[in-house]
Amino acid sequence: MARDEGLGGCTPTLWASERLSIDPSPTVPHSPCPMVAARSRFFTAMAVLALVVALTGFAGTYFVPLARGGFRAPPIVHVHGALLFGWLVLFLAQSLLIRRRDLLAHKRLGWAGAVLAAGVSVSTVAVGVWATQRDVAAGGGDIAVSALTGVCLSAAMFLALVAAAIAWRRNGPAHKRLMMLATIAILWPAWFRFRHYFPSVPAPEITFAIIAADSLIVACILRDWLVERRIHSVFLWVGPAIILEHITEALLFDSPPWRAVAHAIFDALT
């Protein structure tokens, strides 16, 4: 049973209801604790925000050209797009199921999410390889190949976070935070495409792909500190680790070691 940390009179049982262990007996309706409701609203709001960011980021480079008949790409690109947006919709649906306290449906849908996450990771790498081949053929040279390292790291990070969330599925607070971080980690390509809306913004690989993308992690940490009066260990340690990885990528991008790894990956996958 989790600790009752200033829940304003709410019982520890209600706090523990966020855990994903399934009770086969019917849920007894009752008025939710305001703190539990606040927690649920935050993760639902973040799920909606993630979907809005993805739709906005890819609107100019995918959805609008596709609607106008001007987008040409192999089927794997469309498969990846369907899987990615399927993940974002699933993440929102899972958050809403928790708000409704329908843990049984949440658990059943979660295993579908595990398959979906694997598909997102594999298709991310596949699209990265296709884009590298396209850019090299267009004269992009070594820097076009270097981009593949970041793509593969992003896919691996996303899958690792989802796997950790599945392993911790009986620990509700840890599980949902790992899923939140996995979703944030896979959003950076959408954020990076915001540069097309704001072409005058300098260093978009920093402004959008790091500062804007990782601002969601900072928001998660601040929310825990302000609402929970403590920062959960997942946000405290894993969140900053993701930010550090993104900064390291920016510093090492297209350096000789980075380029060597990218060429090794590209040669292995083509």
Half-sphere exposure of 151 (CA within 13 A, CB side): 20
Residue 28 lies in a domain: no
The pLDDT of residue 215: 98
Residue 10 lies in a domain: no
The pLDDT of residue 40: 64
The pLDDT of residue 61: 95
- Determine the structural domain holding residue 238 and report its residue range: 33-269
Complete DSSP assignment for the chain: -----S-TT--HHHHHTTS-----SPPPP-PPPHHHHHHHHHHHHHHHHHHHHHHHHHIIIIIHHHHTT-----HHHHHHHHHHHHHHHHHHHHHHHHHTT-HHHHHHHHHHHHHHHHHHHHHHHHHHHHHHHHHHHTT-HHHHHHHHHHHHHHHHHHHHHHHHHHHTTTSHHHHHHHHHHHHHHTTHHHHHGGGGT-TTSS-HHHIIIIIIHHHHHHHHHHHIIIIISS--HIIIIIHHHHHHHHHHHHHHTTSHHHHHHHHHHHHHH-
The pLDDT of residue 254: 94
Residue 9 lies in a domain: no
Residue 11 lies in a domain: no
The pLDDT of residue 39: 53
Average pLDDT by stretches of 10, the chain with 270 residues: 36 35 39 48 96 97 95 96 97 93 91 95 98 96 95 97 96 96 96 96 95 98 96 98 97 96 96
Residue 22 lies in a domain: no
Task: Please list, in sequence order, all residues whose beta carbon lies within 8 angstroms of the beta carbon of residue 193, skipping any fewer than 6 positions away.
Answer: 57, 58, 60, 61, 208
Of 110, 102, 107, 61, the closest CA to residue 81 belongs to 61
Q: For 196-235, what is each residue's pLDDT tens digit?
A: 999 999 999 999 999 999 999 999 999 999 999 999 999 9
Q: For 172-182, what is each residue's pLDDT tens digit?
A: 999 999 999 99
**Contact status, residue 165 vs residue 175, Cβ threshold 8 Å:** yes
Residue 5 lies in a domain: no
Residue 1 lies in a domain: no
Task: Please list, in sequence order, all residues whose beta carbon lies within 8 angstroms of the beta carbon of residue 202, skipping any fewer than 6 positions away.
Answer: none
Residue 23 lies in a domain: no
Tokens 């993805």 sit on residue: 54
Domain count, the chain: 1
**Contact status, residue 15 vs residue 36, Cβ threshold 8 Å:** yes
